Every structure is written in C-alpha cells, then in structure tokens.
Amino acid sequence: MLNLFPYRLYLVISEADCAGRDFVRVAEQAVLGGVDLVQLREKHATPDEFLRKAERLQTMLQTYHVPLIINDNLDVAVQAQAFGIHVGRSDCSPTHIRSVWKGCRSLGYSIEQLDQLETQDAQCSDCLGISPVFKTSTKTDTVTEWGLDGIRTIRHRTDKPLVAIGHINAANTGDVMRAGADCLAVVSAICQAPNPQQAAQEIRDQIDQAVR
C-alpha cells in the first residue's frame, strides 16, 4: 500500500517558542537538520496574524518541498493552502474537516484517552498524535502521560501512523521509536536549542538508527 505518512521528524513551531528568533529561520534550520514535516501552532495570534505567519512559513517550506500542517484553524489551513491540519479532542472534529475540506492531504488527531481510538474521528484521520508521551512544560493542560507503555498499548490497537509528542529529545528518541511511534513531533528540543539545525540532526540520526 502507498505510504501516505512517510514523515519521521515533525517540527511543531510557534513564534513564541523560538527564543526571540525569527520562527521561519528556525524552521528552515530545522529542515536543514532533517525535519520533514512542519506544523504551525499559534495559540495567541489573531486569525489574520496566524494566516500571515502561515504564508511566510509556507513560502520557505515550499522551496524544500516540506509540507505545512496548521494546528486547529481550518480557515487558515485552507487559505494558506496547507498540506493538512492537526486537531485535538476539543477542536473542530476530523469528521467535519473531512466533509468540508476535500483538499486536505493530512489530517492529524490527538489521542489523549484510549476511548478516542474507537471513534469515527480517529478512524477518518491520517495519523494519530500520542499526546503527550512525557510531561512537558510546553503544554500543561494534558490528560494522560502515555509513557512508553502507552505507546505500546496504542500501537497494538491501531495500524494508523502514530506521532509521538511531549518532551521528545535526542536522548529518548530511540526508546520512543522502538515502543512503536512512526514519527516524532518536537517543539522545545529544536526551537529552544542554540543551534536548531544541529538539534534536529541529532534527533534525526537517532530516528534513523532506530528504524534501520
């Protein structure tokens, strides 16, 4: 079967996460280090600001043929001609997005509780976020810290591509991949790093070793 989710290292970025640096430049460095999918997650921007940021990021990413995913905002995703969207349990539902955005090429859905796996929303999604794997200060309103056992549990229950997120770094990458993740999503280990390209490269090397 055609692999519709060939991505391994997924940068999740917002301007506020980048320690005062230009977020598009940080994302570009991350791409040069091996990031192959980028999500713009702007929790405090107005819709107009969110769209402008998405367009800037999109322009850079297109030169590298790296897809852009928009967190949560369907209007921004459509207007920025993003590759896809990622939503959580309390956001616009995947079922609704499928019915209205025919051009969506990647629909991600965060799994915070096991009972979500059985839902239509999970079933119509292209990938599932395991959210969070470990406790993280980047997102504190979380429900379950899945840990490595949680990844294994979810892996046994679904064939969907699994994206692990939450305190992922080069030191735990191997364990998270071997527990059953297909792709790792990272905020601070790349965005806050003094050298985002090198930080991405280190995680990417660990991923490549784990999947060999």
Interface residue with ligand TZP among 177, 186, 193, 199 (CB under 6 A) is 186
The token duo for 21 is: 């640096």
- Partner in contact with 138, chosen from Mg ion, ligand TZP, none, beta carbon below 5 to 8 Å by kind: ligand TZP
* 188 is a contact residue toward ligand TZP (CB under 6 A): yes
Is the CB of 160 or the CB of 212 nearer to ligand TZP? 160
Exposure letters 168-203 (e unless 16+ CB within 10 A, then b)? bbbebbeebbebbbbbbbbbbbbbebeebbebbbbb
Alpha helices in 65-182 (DSSP H): 74-79, 94-100, 120-123, 147-157, 173-178
User: In a 3-state reduction of DSSP, which class is residue 159?
Assistant: coil
- Partner in contact with 12, chosen from ligand TZP, Mg ion, none, beta carbon below 5 to 8 Å by kind: ligand TZP
The verdict on whether residue 99 carries a ligand-binding annotation is no
User: In a 3-state reduction of DSSP, which class is residue 158?
Assistant: coil
Q: How far is the CB of 167 from ligand TZP (least distance, A)?
A: 4
Q: How far is the CB of 104 from Mg ion (least distance, A)?
A: 16
Amino acid identity at 119: T
Stretch that binds ligand TZP, among 59-67, 144-152, 163-171, 194-202 (CB under 6 A): 163-171
Stretch that binds ligand TZP, among 25-33, 59-67, 161-169, 201-209 (CB under 6 A): 161-169
The verdict on whether residue 39 carries a ligand-binding annotation is yes
Q: How far is the CB of 196 from ligand TZP (least distance, A)?
A: 13
Distance CA 180, CA 173 (A): 11
Residues near 174 by beta carbon (within 8 Å), at least 6 away in sequence: 206, 209, 210
Element (H, E) at 13: strand 9-13
- Binding-site sequence positions: 39-43, 71-72, 91, 110, 136-139, 187-188
**By the criterion CB under 6 A, which residues form the site for ligand TZP?**
12, 131-132, 136, 138-139, 165-168, 186-189
Q: Which residues bind Mg ion (CB under 5 A)?
A: 72, 88, 91
